[in-house]
Amino acid sequence: MTQPHPLYIVASPRPRVGKTLVARLLIEFFHASDRPLIGYDLNPREPTLAGRFPHLVWPVDITETLGQMELFDRLIVDNTRTQIVDLGYAPFEQFFGVLDEIGFIPEARRRFIEPIVLFVTDPAPATISTYAALRRRLPGATFVPVHNESVSLVFEKEDFPATRSECSVIHIPRLSPIVRGVIDRPSFSFSAYMTAQPGGPTEVHQWIARIFTAFRDLELRLLMGRLTSSYGGPAPAQQYRDVR
Amino acid sequence: MAKPTVVVVGADKGGVGKTTVARTVLDYFTAHHVPARAFDSESPKGTLKRFHPDVTDIVDATSVSDQMRIFDTLTDASVTVIDVRAGLLSPTLRSLRDIGFLDSVKKGQITFVVFHILGSSIASLNEIEDTAAFTGDASYFLVKNFINNTSFFEWDQATHSSYFKKKDAAAITIPKLNEMAFEQVELASVPFLTFVANKGPKGETANYSFVLRGYVRHWLGNVWGEYDRIKLNDIVATAAPPQQQQQATGASGARVQVVSRS
């Protein structure tokens, strides 16, 4: 069975909820295990992720058609690497509008690319309704909510139902302000820190380990879901219909 | 098919997108397996022929010999699409009356469809008056073509509505297509359907942008949604032989079928 390559889209309609942090953690998680990957930074005014990983992440402005071609024409042909999109809140609507209009998701699935939307949540009613609308609009994508405890301590599971029950939510634990200052340094690398201090008992170590474990768990659950489908279990498409 | 069908696409004004509409109509018939031929009256150099060379002949609609080429060869087996050169819609309709074509339409021997492409000015509304005398027995459609971002009569909605109501004509809206996508199809010189299927003029695999193909597929789906709404396929009423085909679906739900050509 050919395993699809994941395309992670880290998204939220709101600013400053930790999208770039989640994208950064994902990149370091995959990079640490030497897996081929490429990232796209869709924050044209402030391409922080591209600045941090200049050899792995490309800044793209999708305001114009040329930028859309630069992004989507690459995403659709690249089924050999894990792809990560850090979707800024400004191009949020346009990104999903184009994605839907050009029929990206069904074609991506046909080409063994699995779109996974890591939706960074917050308790605003507009965000909750946007999440629901997006799921209805893109039934072929896998939605996994991400709860960043630095944004809100409360997470209502019913507000952000995952596409698959086994991939319910990824929690990003809250960090103390001092430690937060450390990880925000341009030179700080999560994977390098873990390598330099394996098993260390620091707050950062536990924080990274918990998130990397959640990513690994998500990968495993997605794989199990695909295997279940291929062996006659409920197909993902059926599951999408069930939740709609 | 019970009787031959003639589809005239025209306007008295230039630059309103007649040929674009004619191209979408030909693509629609291709997708519905309706055998169609086309005449491009933009003599001597026809744009429609550039996109649909296999089914298109260039004619001078004002010459008797070319009129014979078109109307003496109508058969039950096909639809004839005529892309009328700018400024010649009314004269062409007059010619059709003079040669007895409109009488045959009146007697039910020929199905006659007119797509009247409107420009953005009040002059276009007056054109409707001019053509009305010839289209009484036709399936007559007023086409607002937004493909080049035209705005229609917003400054005088009452006048606009009165014309549409008076003529009891159905309106078709051609939505805007992304400029770069439109430009790339122009450069490729292939039918919209062929562009969507990522094929070149000779059926070879091309390398068009996935994004631009997506825009064209979505747009074409919406245009065909309009043709489905006016029941164009029922008007030409043909039986469709099965062919190998792929299906895609536009956002409107209209089918965009990509016909495989070997």
- Kindly report the pTM of this predicted structure: 0.87
CA distances from A175 to A195, B10, B88 (A): 20, 68, 75
Higher local confidence (pLDDT), A157 or B162: A157
Residue B135: pLDDT over 90: no
Average pLDDT over residues B88-98: 88
Asked if residue B178 lies in contact with residue A65, where contact means CB atoms within 8 angstroms, the answer is yes
Confidence class for position B250, pLDDT limits 50, 70, 90: very low
Q: Range with the lowest mean pLDDT among B69-73, B122-126, B194-198?
A: B122-126
Best of A64, A66, A70, A73 to substitute, by most chain B Cβ atoms within 10 angstroms, is A73
Mean pLDDT, rounded, for B170-188? 94
DSSP letter assigned to residue B205:
B
In this structure, the number of other CB atoms found within 10 A of the CB of residue B173 comes to 15
CA dist A31 and A56 (Å) reads 9
Q: Are B86 and B15 in contact (CB under 8 A)?
A: yes
pLDDT tens readout for residues A157-204: 999 999 887 777 999 999 988 888 889 998 899 988 888 876 667 888
A6-57 tens-digit pLDDT? 999 999 999 999 999 999 999 999 998 899 999 999 998 889 999 999 999 9
Asked whether the beta carbons of residue B181 and residue A65 sit closer than 8 angstroms, the reply is yes
Q: Do A101 and B181 touch (CB under 8 A)?
A: no
Angstrom distance (rounded) from CA A24 to CA A42: 13
Whether B162 shows a pLDDT value over 80: the answer reads no
Distance CA A220, CA A226 (A): 10
Query: Which pLDDT score, from 0 to 100, does residue A238 have?
Result: 46
What would the pLDDT profile of A115-148 be if each residue is shown by its tens digit?
999 999 999 999 999 999 999 999 999 999 999 9
Measured between beta carbons, the chain A residues lying within 8 angstroms of B180 are 65-66, 69
Dump pLDDT digits (tens) for B195-219.
Answer: 999 999 999 999 999 999 999 999 9
Among B184, B195, B211, B255, the strongest candidate for a mutation testing the A interface, having the largest count of A CBs within 10 A, is B211
pLDDT at A229: 73
SS3 of B70-84: the string is: HHCCCCCCCEEEEEC
pLDDT in tens, A206-229: 899 999 999 999 999 988 888 877
Q: Is A103 on the interface with B (CB under 8 A)?
A: yes
Q: What pLDDT score does A232 carry?
A: 67
